[in-house]
Structure 1
Amino acid sequence: MRRLLLAGLIALTVLPVAAEPATSAQPLDLETIMANPDWMGHAVENPYWSIDGRSLYYSLKRDGSPVHDLYRVDPATGQSTKLDPAAMANAEGPAVYDRAHQHAAFILHGDVFLVDLGSGRRVQVTRSSQPESSPQFSADGRSLQFRESNNWYVYDIASGVTSPAAVLKFTDDPQAKTPDALQQQQLDLFKELRQNKDDKDAEHAEQQALAAADPTRAPLPFYLGDKAQLLDTELSPDGRWMLVVTQPAHHDDGKAPYVIHYVAESGYTETEDARTYVGRNDPAPQSVLLLDLSAHKQYPLSTDNLPGIKDDPLKAIRDKTVAALEKAGKDDEAKALKAPDVRPITMYSMDSGTAGITWSEDGRNAALEFLSIDSKDRWIATVDFNKHALVPQHRLHNDAWINWIFNDFGWLKDGRTLWYLSEETGYSQLYTKSVDGSAKALTSGKFEVSEPQLSNDGKWFYLRTNQVAPYSYDVYRVPSSGGALSRVTQYGGMDQFALSPDDNQLAVLHSSAYVLPQLAVQGAQGGTPRELTNTMKPGFTAHAWIQPKIIEVPSSHGAGVIYAKYYGPADETDALSSRPAVIFVHGAGYLQDVSESATYYQHEQLFNNLLVQQGYVVLDMDYRASEGYGSAWRTAIYRQMGHPELEDLLDGKAWLVKNHGVDPKRVGIYGGSYGGFMTEIALLRAPGEFAAGAAQRPPADWITYNDQYTSNILNDPQIDPEAYKISSPITYAENLRDPLLINHGLIDDNVMASDSLRLYERFVELHKKNFWISLYPLERHEFEHADSWYDEYRRIDELFETWVKPGTTH
């Protein structure tokens, strides 16, 4: 569950561990490995190029503080400088350029800056208490556009005047109101009232005429009614059009559960609203308006012509549930499940949080990306500005669900050719399509393509792919007109990149097992990289950490192979014939932990080292539902969460028994979030297979998780109650026979602590034994405090020492 159990597997990067001698033979201990992670070092974050391409900026967390400092590094020498507050005044933000490359603009501390590239003159365009964002140049290069929330402004470069692009009012137009019967009677009876109305109408007409003829005036407002709520606005680069995304104004989001703060600064117990449960109310449907800013007219853009939008992909499931409800005499509930005539949609949400809308550079074309609320379809459509209508360009359908990544799209430099990612072959690949032509695949194969970046000259796409092996990622490039896909970097653990303004260099973040993201620079066509940072701490890199071995576990259920990381002693020649083992289960569900990059699970990786030191071997598997292996691997869990994954974990256990002398009765299991869910599923659906399990912050009943994640995989609980029943650990509570430790933060607003408390109460009522719960009053989903990390893993360590290592029978 990327949004669920993952704080973000973002660009991790690495300097090879070999750069630091592994000299430390000091035994590991829990106090050290669960300490504040500052002792390991820091990840280099968010690199971007300076406007002139001669420097790179990056962020680095400050020791002992959540504050991140900004650094500037010279790619030629590798010399880095931390910018103090005074130097920050002359820093730059990630830049955008006009088409003629005469000006650049960026956001710094929430304000807009403009730079003349010829003279180097820098102008601060705004200085406001509200942050601005999204700078873009007009198609003719004469003005700079930017937004403050959903209000767009246009800065005229020659005059220095800033004006609103449009004024939106979500009320009815008072001048457009037709008199009702009583008002008309008043006007018919009284001359003075008629004169007053005529005067107001004349003044309004004069204001409209002046606004139309005089460009120095602020624009007249668009009245959009009181039945809609504004979500997003996107302004065309030519300044002619605006797309406005709305939802119903009074949509009921459903009742929100509480997070309870038992330990609060006030000394009183405090409550906090959390997110609603899945199925308590569907997400609000969204609509799009097209505003003609020149003619001052508005047009709704109907989505009724999107192919398949009137289909019901859930018909078979819906009919079965409706029949069961009608048989039970629940006619009202059955009626509520009737399929809509036209499926409701939402806009795809971009990484910036804005709606899925992209304009061509000349502003003459716009593309919009829609998702069906039932998660089965994604559409890309363009706008016919003459007919004020959508033109469907591409439909991606999945009987399970559309992925929440691999949805990037945009325009080539010609302004008439779309590019987009699609999983239609089973793997994310890159395509182009002219607005009046057919699609063309630029990449193909059984590997994933992501993070496409079009070069500034428009000739190349730079991509992140795992073409060599599912666990190995690098930068590749392919001509935007079509051609061979060629490899640019050679890291295997490449996680993020940024192309220089002149298209000649790549800034690359790369990582490895025990090295957090580091920054390098190399030629955009390939070549030897120059390493620019080394932010790991000597005390950490000096330890002889176990390099995980990436292995292939054969599936006994027709899934091919399951990639995994194996942690074991360096010398296994004298391995015991019967040894204990632990399986670590990564979280998020859709996350890839078996890769050559640094892991998101730093504490767990160090704990795995400690377990090996104590005599265990450890396996970490990318079970089905994990990222990086195509859509069939991802959607294998549709309507049956926990089932294919458990088959894979049991295959992993069998591999350990066969290949590393593991005692099948001495295997423990642990994980957090989705990994905690799988730990509970393993113990409750396969009792006796695992000697003990530790579940951190686990979802125990999917009906109490959120809509955004859960309904994708299990549909709506009213339509598909059986999927929730068979997928939830609480359903199998009566099967508990193996020791289970549950650890949960009490102020977790992602997976509520009530999930674990409800399961705990079921165990109490079922008179179960050997189950424990540990609650952490100051922790949310992602634990932040070293004391909590230590306490959590002390309990896990003791659990395994008691029930797994000695082979206790129970």
Structure 2
Amino acid sequence: MKQLLTLSFLAFLVFGLQAQQRPLTELTVQEIMQEPDEFIGTSPSRISWSKDSKHIFFQWNPNVGPFSETYMVPASGGTPEQVEDSSEGWPSNYTFNSDRTKIAFERNGDIFIKNLKSDEETQITATNARESSVDFHTDNIVSFISDNNLFTINLETGLISQLTNFQVTSEEEEERRGNRGGSEGNKEQDNWLRKDQALTSSYIKDQRNRPRRTGGFSRFMDRMSEGRNPIELENVRRLSLSPDGKFVSYMVYIAPENPAKRTVVPDFVTQSGYTTDLNTRAKVGGEQGHIEMGIYSVEGDSAYTIDVAQLPGIKDLPDYVTDYPEKEFEATERQVSTNDMIWSADGKYAVVHFASIDNKDRWIMRLLPDSGQLIEIDRQRDEAWIAGPGIGSEYSSGTFGFLPDNKTIYFQSETSGYSHLYTYDISKGVKKQLTEGDYEVYDPFLSKDGKTWYFTANMKHPGIRHFYSMPLKGGKPTQISQKDGWNEFELSPDEKLLAVRHSYIDQPYELFVQDNKAGAEMKQLTESLREGFQKYDWYKPEVTTFKAEDGEDVHARIYKPENPNGAAVIFVHGAGYLQNVHYGWSSYFREFMFNNLLRAKGYTVLDIDYRASAGYGRDWRTGIYRYMGGKDLSDNIDGAKYLVKEHGIDPDRIGMYGGSYGGFITLFAMFKHPDVISAGAALRSVTDWAHYNHGYTSNILNTPIEDPIAYKRSSPIYFADGLEGDLLIAHGMVDTNVHFQDVVRLAQKLIELGKDNWEMAVYPVENHGFTTPSGWTDEYKRILKLFENTIGKQ
């Protein structure tokens, strides 16, 4: 009897395991499109270390609550526990003195000093004004900003010194900001309304006429500034004191005189029952603002704006002007933004980072602050556009700083074709490339002793990221991490340990820890997967390459079915500049699961890092310049031909789907290559680039007025007559990124062309990134239905 029970129990276990490990053919769209927290689990994120390097903090949601919470786990391992926060009683922003024994910080608008040895806090200011940007200028001098001016406090004597007397013309700035991003409007009417407000409301009148500062300390600061020449500016930001205390650098935003008109997206499903207009971005091509940098002399009590006319090549015309012989292009000074300035610790050298608004140039220049003269250190010119890992542009300076010797700066550049780390010795005028090869360098930083570089790179394979160390002056990098996949690293404060967010193709991110030594093993600290995800044996697509028509190797993921049905689907990732063919967990996790579902039904699925994808260097990144729908599209079409030639796919049974940029490529494939792509689902797709935003589009296509050729050949709406196959268009109606207007205009075009083999699915409450499981489910059920009813039929 006992033996019979044992056999029965074993049979029950076997049956139970079989039931749990369900085959992928049982996957449903509704299941994989449910809330990821509930089905997959929530991976740890926002990794940070405790100050003593003994614990790791992270955001996590293992209990499927409404939000992720802060957790802490010992670096040695153990059970993660929820904590209130990860600050350990420290302020969110602080600065150290030179020997790191004290920190200075702002709390509720006042300045505090904390002695780290005694754990004692001392309040330095108690004012009605708000102090910010607190910094140790020296161990005894703390600088800060209050009411748009720079001050210092001597910690030994308590003396407060006001170094600048900038007067911000607030009313003009208010008017300028009010128009920023909108149309010019009726200026007479606007001025009349503004004046009338003070006549109809005493509150408005009092607010308009109130003094800029109130309170005893503020009046004291007013008196302090009496000896300094007032300098009127429309606005001022990022004030910084030179190490020798002689100069203050500052930035001023110059708003466009005629800003572009903002677009409106109607929201139909609202709490009130009335349609609400959402004011969103402007379209590409409008006049842009820029940032100027000024230098104020503390001793001379005078200021000047850095003259960008000194920049080499400031009047250079782009090469594309040769395509317009009928136009006259005047070689004038191009608009430039100044986005960063750094001083050597000894105050001997000042270096400024500039970027042209037309996206073609990045300059790193030495500044002689006494005269304002600029001396060239590095100019990176790109006839396409400046970008790449760690490379500064109009919006940031990227990797940029001084080495400990106070005479050498470091930065990244794509000069070699890939983003690599460089140094420049200002005293000798010598530039040196520290890393080299067909790989990209990410997030380089120096060890605390200033002797070692640390960085992440895809040196082993474009789709594998590891952590490396390298001597300060260059040399062969040492690979520290060992586990292949997609890795993100956080070095502990004592630099002995690495917290690693690691994932693999079929394994979402988990938290690991390892010694900061080459060859050290990683130890897993979290388990995040939910039961729903774990019960499936997910297929790991093969990472492979195929040849493009121009001979380049194109990287791809391929899902090979056990029982192929002769049909194939090409998935096109979004964003353009994004990498999806790698050995890690994809940000397109829904599409990973959907591709598994398609594979289980017999479809071969190909996921391509087409031209303009990230991770493959400068030429790959800029391969779409002035022609979106050129090489990016042909790479996908070559992928279809590869499927036919190498995997026995029926050339009449190939489909395609993708969202955003992937939707744009899908439309173009359907319109320009109907003989290759028979069915397509274009999701939240751009149909006309002249209607997209400025920051992204002007990089690649310039502007519609300057370069209409680029826009006409890059926009699917002009090629809609080529539609022959079956097309599904899906779009959120409150999409504030790619506006619903895009597909409405395309729909009208298809109607006018008499096309009847298309349909449109609209989602009234969805923005660009869908948020509701019902929206995701409906969309992907329609995609599956499209393929099953077209290419899926043998």
Give TM class, smaller chain: 0.7 to 0.9
1:556–1:75 Cα change, 3 Å: same
> Given that residues 336 and 356 in structure 2 are in contact (C-alpha distance below 8 angstroms), is that contact kept between their aligned partners in structure 1?
yes
Q: What stretches of structure 2 of length at least 5 have no aligned partner? A: 1-16, 171-217, 392-398
1:421–1:692 Cα change, 3 Å: same
> Given that residues 291 and 299 in structure 1 are in contact (C-alpha distance below 8 angstroms), is that contact kept between their aligned partners in structure 2?
yes
Matches within 5 A, 1:373-522: 373-403=357-387, 405-407=389-391, 408-436=399-427, 437-522=429-514
Deviation at 1:381, TM superposition (A): 1.5
Aligned to 2:232: 225
Q: 1:772-795 deviations in whole A, cap 9, x for unaligned?
A: 111212111111111111111111
Deviates more, 1:69-78 or 1:30-39: 69-78
Partner residue of 1:539 out of 524, 532, 553? 532
| Pair 1:49-2:49 in alignment | yes
Find the residue that maps to 1:731 and give its secondary structure.
helix
Aligned to 2:192: none
Q: Distance in 2 between matches of 1:543 and 1:110?
A: 54
Partner residue of 2:321 out of 313, 318, 321? 318
> Given that residues 150 and 232 in structure 1 are in contact (C-alpha distance below 8 angstroms), is that contact kept between their aligned partners in structure 2?
no
| Pair 1:614-2:601 in alignment | yes
Deviates more, 1:704-713 or 1:105-114: 105-114
Q: Distance in 1 between matches of 2:678 and 2:703?
A: 35
Deviation at 1:623, TM superposition (A): 0.5
Matches within 5 A, 1:264-283: 264-279=270-285, 281-283=286-288
> Given that residues 400 and 635 in structure 1 are in contact (C-alpha distance below 8 angstroms), is that contact kept between their aligned partners in structure 2?
yes
Amino acid at match of 2:140: R
> Given that residues 488 and 502 in structure 2 are in contact (C-alpha distance below 8 angstroms), is that contact kept between their aligned partners in structure 1?
yes
Q: Distance in 2 between matches of 1:22 and 1:218?
A: 79
Matches within 5 A, 1:144-293: 144-145=142-143, 166=164, 168-171=166-169, 217=224, 223-225=230-232, 228-230=234-236, 232-236=238-242, 240-249=246-255, 251-279=257-285, 281-293=286-298
Q: Distance in 2 between matches of 1:414 and 1:287?
A: 29
Q: Distance in 2 between matches of 1:711 and 1:597?
A: 31
> Given that residues 59 and 71 in structure 1 are in contact (C-alpha distance below 8 angstroms), is that contact kept between their aligned partners in structure 2?
yes
The higher-RCO structure (CA 8 Å, 6+ apart) is: 1
> Given that residues 671 and 694 in structure 1 are in contact (C-alpha distance below 8 angstroms), is that contact kept between their aligned partners in structure 2?
yes
Q: 1:133-184 deviations in whole A, cap 9, x for unaligned?
A: 765432x223455668976665665578988764532349xxxxxxxxxxxx
1:214–1:631 Cα change, 3 Å: closer
Q: Distance in 2 between matches of 1:32 and 1:95?
A: 46
Aligned to 1:142: 140
Deviates more, 1:234-243 or 1:651-660: 234-243
Matches within 5 A, 1:342-741: 342-347=333-338, 355-403=339-387, 405-407=389-391, 408-436=399-427, 437-526=429-518, 527-559=520-552, 561-569=553-561, 572=562, 575-576=563-564, 579-741=566-728
Please, what is the CA RMSD of the aligned residues?
3.3
> Given that residues 406 and 423 in structure 1 are in contact (C-alpha distance below 8 angstroms), is that contact kept between their aligned partners in structure 2?
no
Identity between Structure 1 and Structure 2 (%)? 36
> Given that residues 389 and 440 in structure 2 are in contact (C-alpha distance below 8 angstroms), is that contact kept between their aligned partners in structure 1?
no
Q: Distance in 2 between matches of 1:719 and 1:492?
A: 46
Deviates more, 1:768-777 or 1:628-637: 768-777
Amino acid at match of 1:665: D
Deviation at 1:92, TM superposition (A): 6.0
Partner residue of 1:300 out of 299, 305, 321? 305
Amino acid at match of 1:170: V
Q: 1:620-678 deviations in whole A, cap 9, x for unaligned?
A: 00001100111111111111111101211122112222332221111110001000100
1:89–1:444 Cα change, 3 Å: closer
> Given that residues 455 and 499 in structure 1 are in contact (C-alpha distance below 8 angstroms), is that contact kept between their aligned partners in structure 2?
no
1:636–1:417 Cα change, 3 Å: same
Find the residue that maps to 1:275 and give its secondary structure.
strand
Amino acid at match of 2:386: I
Deviation at 1:603, TM superposition (A): 1.0
Deviation at 1:214, TM superposition (A): 11
Q: 1:99-154 deviations in whole A, cap 9, x for unaligned?
A: 2121246789999875423223356789999998765432x223455668976665
| Pair 1:24-2:21 in alignment | yes
Find the residue that maps to 2:700 and give its secondary structure.
helix
Partner residue of 2:739 out of 737, 740, 752? 752
Q: Distance in 1 between matches of 2:557 and 2:130?
A: 44
Deviates more, 1:751-760 or 1:402-411: 402-411
Deviates more, 1:236-245 or 1:100-109: 100-109
> Given that residues 737 and 769 in structure 1 are in contact (C-alpha distance below 8 angstroms), is that contact kept between their aligned partners in structure 2?
no
> Given that residues 170 and 223 in structure 1 are in contact (C-alpha distance below 8 angstroms), is that contact kept between their aligned partners in structure 2?
no
TM-score normalised to the size of structure 1? 0.82
Deviation at 1:763, TM superposition (A): 0.2
Find the residue that maps to 2:549 and give its secondary structure.
coil
Q: Distance in 1 between matches of 2:265 and 2:130?
A: 30
1:38–1:294 Cα change, 3 Å: farther
Q: What stretches of structure 1 of length at least 5 have no aligned partner? A: 1-19, 173-210, 325-333, 348-354
1:791–1:362 Cα change, 3 Å: farther
> Given that residues 241 and 249 in structure 2 are in contact (C-alpha distance below 8 angstroms), is that contact kept between their aligned partners in structure 1?
yes
Find the residue that maps to 1:806 and give its secondary structure.
coil
> Given that residues 48 and 94 in structure 1 are in contact (C-alpha distance below 8 angstroms), is that contact kept between their aligned partners in structure 2?
no
Q: 1:363-420 deviations in whole A, cap 9, x for unaligned?
A: 5543322111111111112321232333321101111111154212111122221000
Deviation at 1:756, TM superposition (A): 0.8
